[in-house]
Amino acid sequence: MAIAKSSQMIHDFSLSPRIDQVGVEERASRFTKRSIKNESKENGLKLVLNMIDLTTLEGKDTDGKVKQLCYKAMHPHDALADIPTVAAICVYPSMVKVAKKALGDSGIKVASVATAFPSGQAPKDIKIRDTKYAVNEGADEVDMVISRGKFHSGEYNFVFDEIAAIKEACGAARLKVILETGELGTYDKVRRASDIAMHAGADFIKTSTGKIQPAATMPVTLVMLEAIWDFYYKTGKMIGMKPAGGISKSKLALHYLVMVKEVLGEDWLNNEWFRFGASSLANDVLMQLVKLKTGQYQSANYFSVD
């Protein structure tokens, strides 16, 4: 790759901007105070539903569970007319084929985690094989994890090269790079890891695996959105954003949409460029949509689990 060969073009990641923690947290909290009227709320909720990567990443996943989730993805709640499907199903590589078959020509993408998810503690060649396996099984998108240990030891080139190598292994599949912000510790490091991932070829940057607490938070997402904006300003290349883990309520999801719109603008407000990694968010959105329609607060008892 041209970028890797010319050392002058490699960004010096030690120069990534430092983050004002108090400022970021204060600004993120402001996004939660916008008033959203009912009509906008309905449109926002439908948009949220359409941005969800419906996720099951558990050791106990079976073919049946994945098929059931795929049905849920295609038919979120048949009692409601005019609601979109979710954006994608997110599974382990071994489940990609099942999901691909179950989703058929519905247009819903299959995303697969790879690279020894969630720890990322495996040699590079195994990570590449893991990625290629997922792509060959039919994954449209690959969610990789960065090597947080190497990142903390300051081996940014290692992290960069690994992402670039996985990007190459992805072929046509879009690559989402999981920073696992809960293990990075500071906003400075989140910003630096975002810069590394974007320069190395990420199509999306993603907060978390969902296996570590804290997962996605609004301030962390704001830091990453600003990194995306700076990268776009510098290179003209759009990068997608995926907060994942801990977003289970519609209200919070709408706050995220407000933040995306105010930081990046409307170009990012679609599932091509913004996703929610979530498993229980979909049902909460559906409950809110039914509430808007009927005026009655809803009960989870009347919505399918998967």
Partner 1 sequence: MQKVIKKSSLSISENGLEKKTSAKRLEVLKTYKIYIGGQFPRTESGRYYQPVNATGKTLANVCLSSRKDFRDAVVSARGAVSGWSGRAAFNRSQILYRMAEMLEGRKAQFIDELVQQDSTKAKAEKEVNLAIDRLIYYAGWCDKFQQIFSAVNPVASSHFNFSVPEATGVVSIIAPQNDSLLGLVSVIAPVIAGGNTCIVLASETKPLCSVTFAEVLNSSDLPGGVVNILTGKPAELASWFVDHMDVNATIYCENISDTQKMIREKSASNLKRITFYDKINWYTDEGQSPYFIMDTQEIKTTWHPVENIAGAGGGY
Catalytic residue ranges: 143, 206, 242
Please identify, using beta-carbon distances, which residue of 14 and 301 lies nearer to partner 1: 301
- Interface with partner 1, residue 300, by CB under 8 A: yes
- Interface with partner 1, residue 38, by CB under 8 A: no
**Position among 100, 302, 304, 305 found at the interface with partner 1 (CB under 8 A):** 302
- Interface with partner 1, residue 168, by CB under 8 A: no
- Interface with partner 1, residue 35, by CB under 8 A: no
In the bound complex, what is the minimum distance in angstroms from residue 295's beta carbon to partner 1? 8
What's the chain's Rg over C-alpha atoms? 19
> How many Cβ atoms sit within 10 Å of the Cβ of residue 59?
5
In the bound complex, what is the minimum distance in angstroms from residue 34's beta carbon to partner 1? 16
In the bound complex, what is the minimum distance in angstroms from residue 254's beta carbon to partner 1? 15
DSSP state string for 136-201: HHT-SEEEEE--HHHHHTT-HHHHHHHHHHHHHHHTTSEEEEE--GGGT-SHHHHHHHHHHHHHHT
- CA pseudo-torsion sign 298, 75, 110, 255: negative
The answer to whether the beta carbons of residues 115 and 178 sit under 8 Å apart is no
> How many Cβ atoms sit within 10 Å of the Cβ of residue 15?
9
The answer to whether the beta carbons of residues 166 and 127 sit under 8 Å apart is yes
Instruction: Count residues near partner 1 (CB under 8 A).
Output: 8
- Interface with partner 1, residue 299, by CB under 8 A: yes
First to last CA, the chain: 42
Write the single-letter amino acid at 157: N
- CA pseudo-torsion sign 34, 266, 85, 203: negative
Percentage helix, strand, coil for the chain under 3-state DSSP, each rounded to 5: 55, 10, 35
Kindly state the tokens that stand for 257: 């949409």
Please identify, using beta-carbon distances, which residue of 126 and 300 lies nearer to partner 1: 300
In the bound complex, what is the minimum distance in angstroms from residue 217's beta carbon to partner 1? 21
In the bound complex, what is the minimum distance in angstroms from residue 300's beta carbon to partner 1? 7
**Position among 12, 213, 297, 305 found at the interface with partner 1 (CB under 8 A):** 297
**Position among 8, 38, 213, 296 found at the interface with partner 1 (CB under 8 A):** 296
Please identify, using beta-carbon distances, which residue of 213 and 296 lies nearer to partner 1: 296
Which x/- pattern over 244-283 shows residues binding partner 1 (rule: CB under 8 A)? ----------------------------------------
Binding residues (CB under 8 A) for partner 1: these are 295-302
